[in-house]
Structures are given as C-alpha cells and as structure tokens.
Chains A and B, each alone.
Chain A
Amino acid sequence: MNQSRKENLLLQVSDLSKRFTLHEQGGVVLSVLDDVSLSVAAGECVALDGPSGAGKSTLLRCLYANYRADKGRILVQHGGEMIDLLHADARALLDIRRRTLGYVSQFLRVIPRVPTLDVVAMPLLSLGVDREEARDRAADLLRRVALPEPLWKLAPATFSGGEQQRVNIARGLVVGHPILLLDEPTASLDADNRARVLELITERRDAGAAIVGIFHDEAARSALATTIHPVRSRQEVAAA
C-alpha cells in the first residue's frame, strides 16, 4: 500500500465475521461473513461483488453497525480518530452515523405523514442545522435527482418505487458524509434518472468521499467502482 493512500484511509475492515443463530428455526447457525478485510481511501469506490446470498448486504449493514459483527475490526475515521465500530457505545455510534457514515438502503423507511422535503432535511436537523438552511439544502438535492417539486410537500409513502428511491438517495447524500454505504442505489430507476444519480454519486466520490456499494447494475458499477471486492461467504450451516 503506498504511503499517501494509507494516510487517506477512511474505512479499514479486518478479519470481520458475522454469524446468525436462528433460534426460531431450531438454533441453526449461519456463518455469513468469515474473515473479511477491505479498506477504502478518500475518493475510492469499492463495489461488493458476488451472487445473491453471498453476504454483500450483510457486510454493508455491518459497516453501518446495523448488524452487529461478532469479531474483527471496523475502523472508521471520525473526528480525526480511527474508531472501532465493534467497540463503540450507542452514543458514539449515533454520532458516527450523524457525521461520518451515510447509508442509502434499498427501501425508504420513514415516519408516516412527514412531507418529502422534511424527510430529506431531517439528517441535517439532527446535526443542528437550522430549519431554513436544511430545507434549502434538501431542495437542492431533490432538484438534482429531478423529483418534481409538487411532490415535495407530500409524504413519500404513496410515491412510485423510483421516486421513493430518489428521495432515499437525496436523504442519504444531504449531509455530505465522508463515507457512503450504498445498497443498490439505482435499482429501481429508469435510464435518465439513473444517469442523474450516477453523476451525483460520481461527484461525491471525486470530491473525496469513500464509498462502499452494491451495484447489480453494470452501468452503475463501471461508472463508480475503482475496486471490485469479491464477497464469497462459505455459508457454512451448522446445527447449534
């Protein structure tokens, strides 16, 4: 690893393992991730590659500390320090998510009744940005993903899949987190909208964001990925 890249590492994963014990199903143990290591520097985009069920989403969720990894390390550069997510307490994790780690899931999950503009502005409000500015920045992003303005004051529950995905992307990018985790960000988009979203993510990468993503869509992968990281879990199944 060359010296300058090493200094720019924003995310360093080593020997990460994750197993699930399914108590509801006779205590079956699924070992989904086994000794996974990868690193991402500023300006790099790592595409996780592998067949369905290989553990790509599990890995991405572990990197967000949504799934709790069993062993290994996930070092995240946060506030000038490298912090291990496996040993960070709840308040530290929430602060890391607010400031450092952005996550775009495949599906939008929000409180009912809240208008789209506020859904997108919410991550900024929780950082203490004032309402006016948060709404302005949210509006900029909704324009970038070409969500029609008349929809902004409606709650996204009734939107089409592609519209919801664009709301989700706007919400995920509004803060400008230094590390972005993207789970199929273009899966439900038509060609025009996909191009818009790819341009937006490419800009973020080129501005220095470190990205880890799952991109089934070949156009997305070739536009964004600087490295392909194969995920091949052993999927060993053992009875407890």
Chain B
Amino acid sequence: MSGPILEVRDLEKRYGARRAVAGVSLDVWPGEVLGIVGESGSGKTTLLSAIAGRVAPSAGSVTYDGRDLTELADVDRSRLIGDKIGFVHQNPRDGLRLNVSAGGNVAEKLMAAGARNYGALRETACRWLDRVEIGRDRVDDHPSKFSGGMQQRLQIARVLATQPQLVLMDEPTGGLDVSVQAKLLDLLRGLVDELGLAVVVVTHDLGVARLLAHRLLVMKDGLVVEHGLTDQVLDDPAHAYTQLLVSSVLQV
C-alpha cells in the first residue's frame, strides 16, 4: 500500500448562498470501499458528482493518484476520469446505451480505449456478462428488454470492463426490488474484493452500507458529522444525527 488513490480536501460546492457541500475531506485507498450515508439533501450526491468531475467544486481539491483534478484542463480531466474512474448511476438507463446490444455496451468503452479485434471484443464482452451473471445468449439483445436488475448488472459490467481503479456508485441498488438487491450486493462485493477496486458508494440504505462498505462517512447539511469503520458507526453511533438514522431503521 503506497497511499490513497483519492484525496479530497476541504471540498465545497455552493449554489448561490446555499452550501450543498460545506467543506469535506476524505481519503480512499486501493481495495477500500468508502460508504457515504445521509438523507436526501445532505449533500452526498453533490459530493460524489464533484469527485466525478460532473460538477465543478466552488473550493477545495480532488486529487486522483497524485494529480489534482480541479487544476487540470477540462479535456485532460475528462480523459483521466474516462480512463481511470468508473461511475455507476442509480438508474442504469443513465449509464447504458439502450439502443445498443448488451455486448456492444460492454465493448464500446473498450473500443474507445483502443481495442479493435471484433472476435476478441465479443469474447471479452461475453466474459463480463458471465461475471455479472447475464447469459451469453443475451449478448445481442438490447438492454431495453432487460429487467431493472439485469440492466444494473450490465451497467456494472460496462463500467468495470475498462478496468478503472476507482469506481463511484450512486445508490447502486436504489431502484431495485429487495430480492434483486441482495444478489447485486453479493455480486458487487465479490467483484470489489477480486479486482481490489477502490470504491466510493453513496447510499441512504444503512443495510447496503453495512454489507458493502469498510468505512462510513455520515453527512448532514453538507458536512461530515461522523466517520469510522462501518460497524463502529452503525453499532456505536456517537453523533445525534447518526443515532437518529440508526434508530429509525425498521427491524425485520
């Protein structure tokens, strides 16, 4: 372990007088899954968007592998993010091309990265479909015909195929049925372990956070109010807001 792959320092995002993110710092190391929890409006999605270069921060820095993304020219930043950082959207339709085949969705980003051999691309796409448990017989189907859970798995295959070192996920199980969520969580956990990915996952679901994240940040009103190992934050919450979140979860 040489050091963190992502370092965020004093990040702020203002919309007029409102500070959606009001000065957040965090580190993510290779192989580590960082969860960000909080309710709607806490600033967690804005923070993720700023890390992903989708929203320009008002202040602070985002350093990826030693390079400050906020100081790069737009074209260089886009290329670096496109090559090295994957983004999994809550709604798979935002991360897929629905009028392109499943195999095409996976291969497209590989082609953008320079791969050209049709047979090899198709085989790589099929191997990714295997890994996310989508049958090879669906390789030529358009994802518009897939269920929500399958679309989400395809989006994950598309993101991981280019072998990013950092993956950002926004509510990855958000729109799915509970029965499908468990399967996706199991799959995600296996892939993260196997590939040694660094992940930042935003979720309002504490159950998802517990199963996926090594560490948690709790956000409220644009600030981190508590952080620690996931089980520390959930089993021994110190801040009033975290205690409220944890005590509000319905037990089954």
A and B interact: yes
Residues of A within 8 A of B (CB): 20-24, 61, 65-68, 90-91, 93-94, 109, 111-114, 125-126
- B186 touches which of A23, A24, A90, A113 (Cβ 8 Å): A113
Cα–Cα, bound, A213→B228 (Å): 25
Given known A24-B244, A93-B229, A94-B229, contact A111–B235 (CB-CB < 8 A): no
**Can you spell out 8 A-B residue pairs with CB atoms less than 8 angstroms apart?**
A24-B240, A24-B244, A24-B247, A66-B232, A91-B1, A109-B210, A111-B189, A125-B193
Q: Is the CB of A22 within 8 A of B186?
A: no
Residue of A nearest to B178 (CB): A112
Residues in B whose Cβ lies below 8 Å from that of A66: 231-232, 235-236
Q: Which residues of A contact B235 (CB under 8 A)?
A: 61, 66-67
Residue interface bits B3-42, CB-to-A below 8 A is 1, else 0: 0000000000000000000000000010010000000000
Closest chain B residue to A20 by CB distance? B236
CB-CB contacts below 8 Å: B192-234 with A:
193, 210-211, 214-215, 228-229, 231-232
Known: A23-B239, A67-B236. 10 other contacts (CB 8 A): A23-B240, A24-B240, A61-B236, A66-B232, A67-B235, A68-B236, A94-B214, A111-B185, A111-B211, A112-B186
The B interface, classified by DSSP as helix, strand, loop or mixed, is helix
Q: Residues of B with Cβ closer than 8 Å to A? A: 1, 29, 32, 182-183, 185-186, 189, 193, 210-211, 214-215, 228-229, 231-232, 235-236, 238-240, 243-244, 247
Residues of A within 8 A of B229 (CB): 65, 90, 93-94
List the 7 closest pairs (A to B, CB-CB), nearest first.
Answer: A23-B240, A112-B182, A67-B236, A23-B243, A113-B182, A90-B215, A113-B186
**Whole-angstrom CA separation of A21 from B240 in the bound complex:** 9
In the bound assembly, the distance between CA atoms of A114 and B193 in angstroms comes to: 15
Q: Name the residue of chain B whose CB is nearest to the CB of A23.
A: B240
CA distance A113 to B180 in the complex (A): 11
Contact B243 A90, beta carbon cutoff 8 Å = no
Residues from chain B with a CB closer than 8 A to the CB of A125 are 193
